[in-house]
Copies of this chain bind each other. A is one copy, B any other.
C-alpha cells in the first residue's frame, strides 16, 4: 500500500492544518489543480488509505457528516522524507502545448485563433495570480513560500501569454 504523489500532497496540506475531505477538495480545485488536478472521488479513498497507513488520523467531526483529518507524527515524517529523499518526476502533461505541434494542420487564420485563445486564457490566469500575490503580506515569513509558489505561476502565465502573442505575429508576418 504505497503512497503516491496525491497521497503526499494531501499529507502536505494536512501538515499545515487539519482539514475535512471537502476542504482538501476545494484547496485542490482552487490552487493545487493548476499543477496536480484531482477529483473528490480520488481524494476520499486516498484519505482512507492514509488513515489505514497511520499517516493521518481523524481529529474530529462536524456538521453534515464532515470529518476532520490531521497528519500524525508518522505522516509528517513521511511527507518530509518524500520532499527530501525522493526525486520528483520530470513529467509534465499539457494537451494545450501538445496541440501546438499540430498547428500546421490548420490554415494560418485558424492557428492564429487557437493561439489568441490560449493567450487569453494565460492572461486571465495571470491576472488572477497577480491579484492573489497582491494580498499576500510580503513581510510575513509564514507566507514567503506561498509567495514563491504564486510567483512561479505568474512567471509561467506571463511567459506563455507573451509567447502566444509573439506566435500570432510570427504567423501574420509569413502570411503577408
Binding site for B on A (CB under 8 A): 5, 8-9, 12, 15-16, 31-37, 79-80, 83-84, 88-106, 110-111, 114, 118, 121, 141-142, 144-149, 151-152, 155-156, 158-160, 162-163, 166-167, 170-171, 174
Given A121-B90, A144-B171, residue A12 in contact with residue B101 (CB < 8 A): yes
Residues of B within 8 A of A142 (CB): 104
B148 with A100: CB separation less than 8 A: yes
Q: B148 and A98: CB pair below 8 A?
A: no
Residue in B90, B95, B141 whose beta carbon sits within 8 Å of that of A89 in the complex: B95
Asked if B148 contacts A167 (CB within 8 A), the reply is: yes
Question: Closest CB-CB distance, A113 to chain B, in whole Å?
Answer: 9
How many copies of the chain does the oligomer comprise? 2
Bound Cα distance A32, B98 (Å)? 7
Instruction: State whether A149 touches B106 (Cβ < 8 A).
Output: no
Instruction: Please report the C-alpha to C-alpha distance between residue A92 and residue B148 in the assembled complex, in whole angstroms.
Output: 19
Contacts of A110 in B (CB 8 A): 83-84
Check B12 against A105 for contact (C-beta < 8 Å): yes
Q: Are B170 and A162 in contact (CB under 8 A)?
A: no
With A148-B170, A151-B167, A160-B156 as contacts: A35 and B103 at CB distance below 8 Å = no
Point out the residue from B114, B145, B151 that lies within 8 Å of A103, measured CB to CB.
Answer: B145
Could you tell me the distance between the alpha carbons of A137 and B97 in the complex, rounded to whole angstroms? 22
Do B159 and A5 touch (CB < 8 A)?
A: no
**Chain B proximity of A83: nearest CB distance (Å):** 6
| CB contact between A35 and one of B34, B98, B144, B156 (< 8 Å): that residue | B98
- Considering the chains assembled together, what is the distance between the CA atoms of A115 and B99 in angstroms? 29
